[in-house]
Amino acid sequence: MTSAGQPRLGLIAASAGVLVAFLAAWEWLPGLMRIPEFILPPASRVWLEFLRVQQTENLWLHTGITALEVIVGFVLGSLMGLVIGCVLGVSPRAELVLSPYLLALQIAPKVAFAPLFVMWLGFTVYPKILVAVLIVFFPVMVNVLTAIRTIDPDLINLARTFSASRWQIFHMIEYPATMSPLFSGLRIASTLAVIGVVVGELVGGNKGLGYLLTYGEGQGNTALVMVSIIMLTLIGIVAYGSVALAERRVLHYLPRAQHTTA
């Protein structure tokens, strides 16, 4: 918490050094090792491709659509996870009834549903969003459910000695207690949402970065594939960063050390 300025600056410099070294290696090693450009284009080639597809391939439109799908899928999936996690958390009976099916659905590889959703919903944004919802739902739900289950029973008893109703116990104790684990779930979910959307786009459609990726692959355009991957990563970083930022604001009451780990 009280890290002095000096070592911190040093760390940042070291981190930047790694990036520079990586970019340099990417730029010159393939040439030195005689790796052909269609296998591993150097960094500058990928940069030029990035500039080119902005003009010719509507890069920003594809990026925007993918980002939109990620946001909608993430929000819907998280809300579902939160609500269902809470319901199962306060009702052990519901959990007992549903848990085998939830477990089965959790074990099933969610991305495998993508072709099915495309068959149902066509080459639209919906199947992509649906895959994201499905994949985001579980980590959020499990974290919320576990949070409610592991609340100190004495806390509940304390509220009960004040004659709290079931609803009061939920909204004053159980629900706020889910916040910290909820955000751990949301961090995972934010990166999973990108995976869900990309898989959906790879399977079918003619919009989004996943489509651009398969398009580049079909043309043997390795640089375009890499541009798409980088853009997807950037979307993931922004999504993750937004969650982390929101977490800092919502969980301001926790001592810092507890929620700074990535």
Partner 1 sequence: MTAAPARIEYRKVTRRFAPQRKGAEGVTAVIDVDLAIADGEVVSLIGPSGCGKSTLLNMGAGLYLPSDGEVLVDGVKVDRPNPQVAFMLQKDLLLPWRTIRENIELGLQIRGVAPAERRDRALRLMERCHLTGFADHHPHQLSGGMRQRAALARTLAVEPLVLLMDEPFSALDAQTKMVLQADLARSLADERKTALFITHDLVESVALSDRVLVMSHRPGRIIEELVVDLPDRDNPFGRRQHPRVIEYVKALTALLDIGHQELHA
Other C-beta atoms within 10 Å of 140: how many? 29
Position among 163, 218, 261, 262 found at the interface with partner 1 (CB under 8 A): 163
Instruction: Please identify, using beta-carbon distances, which residue of 28 and 162 lies nearer to partner 1.
Output: 162
- CA 205: distance to chain centroid? 22
| Three state DSSP letters for 90-120 | HCHHHHHHHHHHHHHHHHCCHHHHHHHHHHH
Q: Which residue has the tokens 């393939």?
A: 30
Q: Is 155 in the site for partner 1 (CB under 8 A)?
A: yes
Helices marked H in the chain — which ranges?
5-32, 43-56, 59-90, 92-107, 114-121, 126-149, 153-161, 166-169, 175-177, 179-203, 209-218, 222-250
Identified binder of partner 1 from the candidate list 79, 90, 99, 160, rule CB under 8 A: 160
The footprint of partner 1 on residues 135-154 (CB under 8 A) is: 152, 154
Among residues 210, 209, 198, 239, the alpha carbon closest in space to that of 78 is found at 239
Instruction: Pick one of 168, 206, 219, 233: the residue that binds partner 1 (CB under 8 A).
Output: 168
Is 159 among the residues that bind partner 1 (CB under 8 A)? yes
The footprint of partner 1 on residues 173-202 (CB under 8 A) is 173, 176, 179
Q: Is 234 in the site for partner 1 (CB under 8 A)?
A: no
- Work out how close the CB of 143 gets to partner 1 at its nearest, in angstroms, rounded to a whole number: 17
Which letter does DSSP use for residue 37 in this model? Answer: T
Nearer to partner 1, 87 or 164 (CB): 164
Q: Which segment (13-21, 83-91, 156-164, 195-203) binds partner 1 by CB under 8 A?
A: 156-164
Among 5, 255, 261, 262, binds partner 1 (CB under 8 A): 255
- Least spacing, CB of residue 216 vs partner 1, in Å: 48
Q: Does 1 engage in binding with partner 1 (CB under 8 A)?
A: no
Contact status, residue 138 vs residue 99, Cβ threshold 8 Å: no
Of 63, 59, 28, which Cα lies nearest the Cα of 42? 28
Report how far residue 159's alpha carbon sits from residue 155's, in angstroms, rounded to the nearest whole number: 6
- Say which DSSP state 171 is in: I
Closest distance to partner 1 from the beta carbon of 231 (Å): 37
Q: Does 79 bind partner 1 (CB under 8 A)?
A: no
CB of 253 to partner 1, least distance (A): 4
Residues that bind partner 1 (CB under 8 A): 152, 154-155, 157-164, 168, 172-173, 176, 179, 253-255
